[in-house]
Chains A and B, each alone.
Chain A
Amino acid sequence: MTTYLARRLLYSVFVLFGVSLLVFFLVRLAGDPTALMLPLDATQADEERIRRAYGFDRPVPIQYLDFLTGAVQGDLGTSIRHQQSALGMVLARFPATLQLLAASLGVALIVAIPLGILSALHPDSWIDRFGVTLALVGQAFPNFLLGLVLIMLFSVHLGWLPSSGRGSAAHLILPAVTLGTAAAAFLNRLLRSSLLEVLSSDYVRTAHAKGRSRTAAVFHHALRNAAIPVLTVLGLQILQLVGGAIVTETVFAYPGAGLLLVQSLGNLDFPIVQAFVLVVAVAVAFVNLVIDLLYGLIDPRIQFS
Chain B
Amino acid sequence: MSVTAVAERRSIVRLLRGVRARPLSTVAFAFVLLVVAAAIFAPALAPHDPTDQSLRTRLLPPVPMAGSDPAHPWGTDPLGRDLYSRVLYGARISLVVGLGAVALQALLGVTIGLVAGFYRGWIDQLAMRIADVQQSVPFLVIVVAVAAVIGPSLRNIVLVLGITGWVTYGRVVRAQVLSLSGQEYVSAARALGVGDGRLMVRHLLPNLVAPITVIATLTVSAMILVEASLSFLGLGVPPPTPTWGGMVAGGRNYLADAPWVSLVPGFAIFSTVLAINLVGDALREALDPSLRG
Interface residues, chain A, with chain B CB atoms under 8 Å away: 14-16, 18-19, 21-22, 26-27, 29-30, 36, 123, 136-137, 139-145, 148-149, 151-152, 156, 196, 239-240, 242-244, 246-247, 250-251, 261-262, 265-266, 268, 270, 273, 276-277, 280-281, 284-285, 288
Residue in A123, A139, A240, A270 whose Cβ sees the most chain B Cβ within 10 Å? A139
Residue in A27, A144, A265 whose Cβ sees the most chain B Cβ within 10 Å? A144
Task: Please tell me which one of the listed residues A145, A149, A151, A239 contacts residue B138 in the complex, with CB atoms under 8 A apart.
Answer: A239
Contact present for B255 and A151 (CB under 8 Å): yes
- Nearest CB to that of A14 among chain B residues? B129
- Nearest CB to that of A21 among chain B residues? B133
Indicate if B266 sits at the interface (CB-CB under 8 A).
Answer: yes
Q: With A142-B228, A148-B262, A277-B145 given, is the CB distance from A30 to B135 under 8 Å?
A: no
A-B contact pairs, 24 of them (CB 8 A): A15-B132, A15-B136, A22-B134, A26-B149, A27-B149, A29-B146, A29-B149, A30-B150, A36-B149, A136-B274, A137-B274, A139-B273, A140-B271, A140-B273, A142-B228, A144-B249, A145-B248, A145-B266, A148-B262, A261-B141, A262-B144, A265-B144, A265-B235, A288-B136
User: How distant is the Cα of A131 from the Cα of B245 in the complex, in angstroms?
Assistant: 27
Within 8 A of A (CB), among B265-281: 266, 269-271, 273-274, 277-278
Q: With A243-B139, A247-B229 given, is the CB distance from A30 to B234 under 8 Å?
A: no
User: How distant is the Cα of A156 from the Cα of B256 in the complex, in angstroms?
Assistant: 6
Indicate if B197 sits at the interface (CB-CB under 8 A).
Answer: no
In the assembled complex, which residues on chain B have CB atoms less than 8 Å from the CB atom of A243?
A: 138-141
User: How distant is the Cα of A140 from the Cα of B225 in the complex, in angstroms?
Assistant: 8
In the assembled complex, which residues on chain A have CB atoms less than 8 Å from the CB atom of B235?
A: 265
User: How distant is the Cα of A16 from the Cα of B259 in the complex, in angstroms?
Assistant: 44
Contact present for A145 and B270 (CB under 8 Å): yes
User: How distant is the Cα of A63 from the Cα of B190 in the complex, in angstroms?
Assistant: 48
Within 8 A of A (CB), among B185-238: 221, 225, 228-229, 232-235
Contact present for B141 and A141 (CB under 8 Å): no
In the assembled complex, which residues on chain A have CB atoms less than 8 Å from the CB atom of B144?
A: 246, 261-262, 265
Interface residues, chain B, with chain A CB atoms under 8 Å away: 129-130, 132-142, 144-146, 148-151, 221, 225, 228-229, 232-235, 245, 248-249, 251-252, 255-256, 259, 262-263, 266, 269-271, 273-274, 277-278, 293
Q: With A141-B270, A148-B248, A268-B148 given, is the CB distance from A247 to B141 under 8 Å?
A: no
Known A-B contacts: A148-B262, A277-B142. Give 17 more (CB < 8 A).
A16-B136, A21-B133, A140-B273, A142-B270, A142-B273, A149-B263, A242-B138, A243-B140, A244-B140, A246-B144, A250-B232, A250-B233, A262-B233, A265-B148, A270-B149, A273-B145, A280-B137
In the assembled complex, which residues on chain B have CB atoms less than 8 Å from the CB atom of A14?
A: 129
- Nearest CB to that of B266 among chain A residues? A145
- Nearest CB to that of A17 among chain B residues? B133
User: How distant is the Cα of A273 from the Cα of B149 in the complex, in angstroms?
Assistant: 10
Residue in A196, A242, A268 whose Cβ sees the most chain B Cβ within 10 Å? A242
Task: Please tell me which one of the listed residues A137, A143, A265 contacts residue B145 in the complex, with CB atoms under 8 A apart.
Answer: A265
In the assembled complex, which residues on chain A have CB atoms less than 8 Å from the CB atom of B149?
A: 26-27, 29-30, 36, 270
- Nearest CB to that of B251 among chain A residues? A148
Contact present for A15 and B255 (CB under 8 Å): no
In the assembled complex, which residues on chain A have CB atoms less than 8 Å from the CB atom of B234?
A: 266
Contact present for B274 and A140 (CB under 8 Å): yes
User: How distant is the Cα of A261 from the Cα of B221 in the complex, in angstroms?
Assistant: 25
- Nearest CB to that of B226 among chain A residues? A243
Contact present for B270 and A144 (CB under 8 Å): no
Contact present for A284 and B136 (CB under 8 Å): yes
- What are the 6 tightest A-B residue pairs by CB atom distance, in nearest-first order? A18-B133, A243-B140, A243-B138, A140-B274, A145-B266, A265-B148
In the assembled complex, which residues on chain A have CB atoms less than 8 Å from the CB atom of B133?
A: 15, 18-19, 21-22
Task: Please tell me which one of the listed residues A19, A152, A196 contacts residue B259 in the complex, with CB atoms under 8 A apart.
Answer: A152
Contact present for B221 and A19 (CB under 8 Å): no
Contact present for A285 and B136 (CB under 8 Å): yes
Residue in A15, A16, A123, A145 whose Cβ sees the most chain B Cβ within 10 Å? A145
Task: Please tell me which one of the listed residues B130, B141, B146, B271 contacts residue A280 in the complex, with CB atoms under 8 A apart.
Answer: B141
